[in-house]
Structure 1
Amino acid sequence: MKRRNFLALAMSTLLLAACGQSTTTDTETTATDNAATGGSDLLQRINNGGTINVGTEGTYPPFTYHDQSGALTGYDVEVTRAVADKLGVDVEFKETQWDAMLTGLDSGRFDMVANQVSLTTPERKAKYDKADAYSWSGAALLAPTDDNRYSSWEALKGLRTAQSLSSNYGELAERYGAEIVPVDGMAQAVQLVKQDRADFTMNDHLAILDYLKNFPDSNLEVKLVAPASELRGSGLVLIKGDDEVVAKLNEAMAELQADGTLTQISQEFFGEDISKQE
């Protein structure tokens, strides 16, 4: 009996070892097969004329918003649609708040983000890739017309600014020593400034000019604007590591620049070409 038990145990051990070896081989084979099929899932969808999922706010005019008919539009939205046309794919926009934008990218809810994103911190540059920029702009500060405290950026120290916690502008305001009053987006930030619950807000200069054009009686005005040397380029952002996808996006963007499409979309929303760094 002892001899039979020993033999049974030995056979079981051999079987388990064989199973383990087989599992490892299968995993390695699957990884090899995936690599041979053409790269990432996103790349395959682009190559096969599938659908790309793009995160955007939908509440950030003139870049991403809903027109009077309720349709999603805006500069970033229309540029993304033009890129999709060049790639021969469909695009599905998924709207979300700014503070959830990169989280949605991390979780795979979006393939990329189109929302005036500039990778300004080492942490973001290490984690994300940005395709070639389709717009160039800089920060501007919006405050009540009768508030004369804004002689320089250094004057922001100790003042309250309404900002999204993870925005580039919030980072800039903190760098100058301002106190952050958290908001979900620009619309709420402007309201807090008008209600004196914040001293100012910072945002993209073009977005602020668009707001003032639509609300000329707001009693707010631009107090400070970043110099030309500090203009940032915004582009489609995706998780780092999909180099072939980035190359395809850059190729499409170059074609849109060359054929005048980016200039045309810029003129439609801003009355000037914001697609070139000048």
Structure 2
Amino acid sequence: MNKYTKTAAVAAVTLMAASSSVYAVVPSVSAKSVPAYQKNLHKKGTLTVGLEGTYSPYSYRDKSGKLTGFEVDLSKAVAKKLHLKVEYSQTKFDSLVAGLGSNKYDVVYNNMGKTKERAAKYAFAAPYLYTKTVMITKKGSDIKSAADLKGKKSAQSASSNFGQAAKKAGTNVVSVPGFAEAIDLVNSGKADVTLNSQDSWGVYKKAHPETKLTAKVTNVLGDTSAAPMLNKKNKALAKKISKAQKQLAKDGTMAKLSEKYFDSDLTKKP
């Protein structure tokens, strides 16, 4: 082998080694690709949560204007487990589902009940809260049971599971944006009743001990549960959220948050 040939051969071997080195790093880049549950996030590295922000004690503004509540604290803990930042998109209840469909946020944490109609169009993570349904009326009302609801005016968020139940029970639904407005209409006599969760009523009653309203448990919905609701394309994210909530239940975080906001543990299935 002459000097020129030997030099060319060494150069060729060096080039091949370099090429092999470049190819070898490709798998490591792939290994660091975005996890499946993060691929459809509204914002990279962030869990964007849709909620009302006016529905105490689930999500509301405190006296300083800071967003707080059971579902705010829970979603923060979930995001931390998922190694994501968390941001909130506040909107009226009847707009929450539409916003999820148009990808304005990744998940709705807003006391959402899983119904057959919703499950057909959306994905759900595991439930995180269990409660009963109550009929809230003025004291002395002739509404004593679900059979008495027919023909009555019911103040409801029309697209909520409570609103749908009130409609099926034969009430004339007066549409309102949220729980506070529903309570106002019953107090003013512009509505006869509103259906809502027993825990929401309990918090309201505690904050308004002088109230002239009362509540009776009803079986129109049976025992209800709340679960995170997501776009169908986010099934991988739903599984990760379920896993995170299971961990938070195991370490006692969920129970502590429930005790903080509801004065009882509503996170365990009856």
Q: TM-score range by the shorter chain?
A: 0.7 to 0.9
In the alignment, which residue of structure 2 is the partner of 1:139? 133
Residue correspondences, number: 238
Residue 157 of structure 1 is aligned with which of 130, 150, 168? 150
In the alignment, residue 273 of structure 1 is paired with which amino acid?
Answer: D
State the distance in 2 between where 1:181 and 1:248 align. Answer: 38
Q: Matched residues, percent identical?
A: 34
2:268 pairs with 1:273: no
Q: 1:118 to 1:44 in 2, by over 3 A?
A: same
CA distances 1:81-134 after superposition (whole Å, capped 9, x unpaired): 1101111111100100000000000011111101000122x3211111111111
Matched, 1:175 2:168: yes
Structure-1 residue corresponding to 2:79: 84
1:70 to 56, 65, 80: 65
SS across alignment from 1:242: helix
Gaps of 5+ in 1: 1-36
Q: Does the CA contact (< 8 Å) of 1:140 and 1:202 recur in 2?
A: yes
The answer to whether 1:243 aligns with 2:235 is yes
Question: Does 1:210 find its partner at 2:165?
Answer: no
Contact 2:122 2:232 in 1 (8 A): yes
Q: TM-score, normalised by structure 1?
A: 0.81
1:232 to 1:196, Cα distance in 2 relative to 1, 3 A: same
- One-letter identity of the residue aligned with 2:188: Q
The code of the aligned residue for 2:122 comes to Y
Shift of 1:39: 7.0
The letter for the 2-side match of 1:184 is P
TM-score (norm 2): 0.83
Report the equivalent of 2:118.
124
The answer to whether the 8 A contact 1:183-1:189 is kept is: yes
CA-based RMSD of the aligned residues comes to 2.1
Moved more, 241-250 or 86-95: 241-250
Match of 1:17 in 2: none
Give the drift of 1:45.
7.3
Query: 1:153–1:224: 8 Å Cα contact kept in structure 2?
Result: no
Q: Which of 196, 218, 223 is the aligned partner of 2:216?
A: 223
Contact 2:146 2:218 in 1 (8 A): no
